[in-house]
Structure 1
Amino acid sequence: MNPIDQEFDSESEVEEGEMTFLEHLEELRWHIVRAIGSIVVFAILAFIYIHEIYDGVILAPSKTSFWTYRMMCELSKKTGFTDLCIEKLNFTLQSREMAGQFTTALTSSLMIGLLFAFPYAFWEVWRFIMPGLKMSERRAARGAVFYVTALFMMGVLFGYYIVSPLAINFLANFQLDPSIVNEFDITSYISTLATLTLGCALTFQMPIVAFVLSKVGVLTPKFMREYRRHALVVILIVAAVITPSPDVYSQILVAIPLVLLYEVSIWVSGYVQRMRLKEEQALMKSDGYED
């Protein structure tokens, strides 16, 4: 360890030594308060513009004019697979409770607030965790907020533009009998949309999970390569669950990003292993020099 790293480590130890347990709790409390405050601010803004948000964002996947459906029709024309083009969504939305639309507006605003405040909220949590890390761990985790946020947003976009439309199309056009009309409650629609979107956002955190598990020594790139075929089977099963449609093209469309995330996770695990080996070699050289 060079003198600069020693200086920073000693400073952090002094700072931690000066703070009592109650002071740590107080600091954590303010980080949580600021994180929740950011969620509340974005939720209020979302509630103010809730009509525009519903018309242009939340209800968009329920209309055939949605971007994904139009692109699938274009792809259908170019490839000749007519099943890809979605020309009709056989369902209507309704609210069955007196205060149903108002409570739905509140819950939707809260979810939107959480979505947009996520980068800042995670940054607040990270600010509390980071001082407890060693200098080498800080260097290894540099850019954590950016990567976590980027993967989260990529997962949200993937869930909103790919997975949700495919699932909504299948569920809307599936009928046990033509006499049964699909009239979905708005809360059921919102729940499906939110679950699929946020589920994809969490799934896209796979490289981050691989980094943490590799850092603590639980996961290795060798293990992930050996079980690549098993992982592929699991990914295909997950893709089949996420997209209830029996259409194999939809499942492949969902599986491809998951496979890429797995390959990226292997690279991340290998990077952590290489960094650990370098640190061990540097430590051995340092010990040899001292001897």
Structure 2
Amino acid sequence: MSSSNSVEMPFLDHLEELRWRLFKCAVAIAIGVGVAFALLYTKQVDIIAFLSLPIQPYLKQPLMVTHVSDLFDIVMDASITLGLIAASPVLAWQLWGFLSPALYGHEKKAVIPALIGAAVLFLAGMALSFFYVLPVTLSFFMSFQSGSVQIMQTVDQYVSFVISMCLAFGAIFELPIVIALLSAMGIVQPQYLSKFRRHAFLGCIVAAALITPGSDPTSLIALTIPLYMLYEVSITVSKFISRRRERRIAAGDE
């Protein structure tokens, strides 16, 4: 518990505060999902047309549906996703308000930059996946087309593939934030990360080859570079946080 809190909140008061914060989070999510569904249902935003942009150059006919409810399911899933994204500032604020009294001063200073960095990196990973990795991957898959076969791509399978790829890249781009947290807890040291640079570079090549199974060396290198840059950024972040942690320990703050 932070030293600035002279009186601890009773347990029942904690539960009451948690209940009201969860209620506010639920209201924010409901509003976000409702607004997103209204926009998608009225075709103010054509989410299916947007998600199909990477595959459009390879289609000879529109994406297909095999069940009458497929389009509704996609719009509903997209509404929930967009609603959570729209409500995320409220969710983060409520989480911060509940946890901040129990944090030390230096921990409070680190939380907000970490949350902002995590959001930016996640969106950057999703953007890289959607605008670059997906077109390259689809180009490779479509290179197996044969004149005796007609590809009939269903919209639900395609959208699921797009979302899984984007979420995977968003998660990969969280590496610097994870390393920062582990460094702040003293679990990971920058010297250890620097020692395994060559292994990390090889791992990035393997990961790029698995993510984009094409044989084009240019595509492989173009994806390996940002993945390895994330590792180098993680080393820099770890050094910075480790030095600050050592200074706090020396000053007796931990």
* TM, length-normalised to structure 2: 0.86
Displacement, 1:181? Answer: 1.7
- Tell whether the 8 Å contact from 1:123 to 1:145 is kept in structure 2 after alignment: no
| Separation in structure 2 between the aligned mates of residue 92 and residue 245 of structure 1, nearest angstrom | 25
CA-CA distance at 1:191 after TM superposition: 0.7
Which of the residues 239, 246, 249 maps onto 1:277?
A: 246
> So what's the TM-score if we normalise by structure 1?
0.76
Aligned partner of 2:33 in structure 1 is 40
Partner of 2:131, secondary structure, is helix
Q: CA deviation at 1:13?
A: 5.1
Deviation track 1:88-147 (CA, whole Å, cap 9, x = no partner) reads: 556752111122222222223323333444444344334333332111211233423322
Please name the residue that 1:172 is paired with: 142
In 1: Cα distance, 2:147 partner to 2:6 partner: 70
* Larger radius of gyration between Structure 1 and Structure 2: 1
What's the CA shift for 1:14? 2.2
Number of the residue aligned with 1:287: none
Deviation, structure 1 residue 185: 0.9
Select which of 66, 83, 106 maps to 1:96. 66
Residue 163 and residue 213 in structure 1: after superposition, are their counterparts in 2 closer, same or farther (change >3 A)? same
Of the three residues 171, 196, 204, the one matched with 1:235 is: 204
Structure 1 unaligned spans of 5+: 1-7, 65-87, 285-291
How far did residue 11 of structure 1 move? 4.0
Runs of 4+, deviation exceeding 6 Å: none
DSSP-derived class of the 1:181 partner: coil
Of the three residues 168, 178, 187, the one matched with 1:199 is 168
State the alpha-carbon separation in 1 of the partners of residues 152 and 73 from structure 2: 19
Any idea what SS the aligned residue of 2:63 has? strand
Question: Retained in 2: the 8 A contact 1:34–1:121?
Answer: no
* Residue equivalent to 2:216: 247
The corresponding residue for 2:102 is: 132
* Change in 2 beyond 3 A, CA 1:241/1:117: farther
**What fraction of aligned residue pairs are identical, expressed as a percent?**
29
Q: Which amino acid aligns with 2:23?
A: W
Does the 8 Å contact 1:151/1:205 carry over to 2?
yes
Measure how far apart 1:188 and its partner are.
Answer: 0.9
Indicate conservation of the 8 Å contact 2:30/2:83, yes or no.
no
Amino acid at match of 1:97: H
Instruction: Using the TM superposition, give the Cα deviation of residue 172 of structure 1 relative to its aligned residue in structure 2, in angstroms.
Output: 2.8
Please tell me whether the aligned partners of residues 89 and 172 of structure 1 are also in contact (alpha carbons under 8 angstroms). Answer: no
The CA distance in 2 between the partners of 1:20 and 1:120, in whole Å, is: 21
> Which residue does the alignment assign to 1:83?
none
Look up the SS of the partner of 2:218 in the other structure. helix
Aligned pair count reads: 253
Alignment of 1:104-123 (within 5 A): 104-123=74-93
Distance 1:61 1:166 in 2: 9
8 Å Cα contact 1:232/1:259 also seen in 2: yes
Deviations 1:19-50 (A, max 9, x none): 64533542452354245335424532442354
1:160 offset after TM fit, Å?
A: 1.4
Letter in 1 for 2:221: I
Paired letter, 2:115: V
Summarize the Cα distance change of 1:26–1:261 in structure 2 as closer, same or farther, 3 Å threshold.
same
One-letter amino acid of the counterpart of residue 246, structure 2: L
Work out whether 1:222 is the aligned partner of 2:191: yes
The one-character-per-residue Cα deviations of 1:61-80 (angstroms, maximum 9, x if unpaired) are 1223xxxxxxxxxxxxxxxx
Asked whether 1:146 is paired with 2:116, we answer yes
- After the TM superposition, which of the residue ranges 141-150 and 42-51 deviates more from structure 2? 42-51
In the TM superposition, residue 270 of structure 1 has moved relative to its aligned partner by: 0.8
| Equivalent residues of 1:170, 1:244 under 8 A apart | yes
State the Cα distance separating 1:278 from its structure 2 match: 0.8
Distance in 2 between residues matched to 1:178 and 1:120, nearest whole Å: 53
Contact 1:159 1:197 in 2 (8 A): yes
| Aligned amino acid, residue 202 of structure 2 | V
Q: Distance in 2 between matches of 1:52 and 1:33?
A: 24
SS of the residue aligned with 2:153? strand
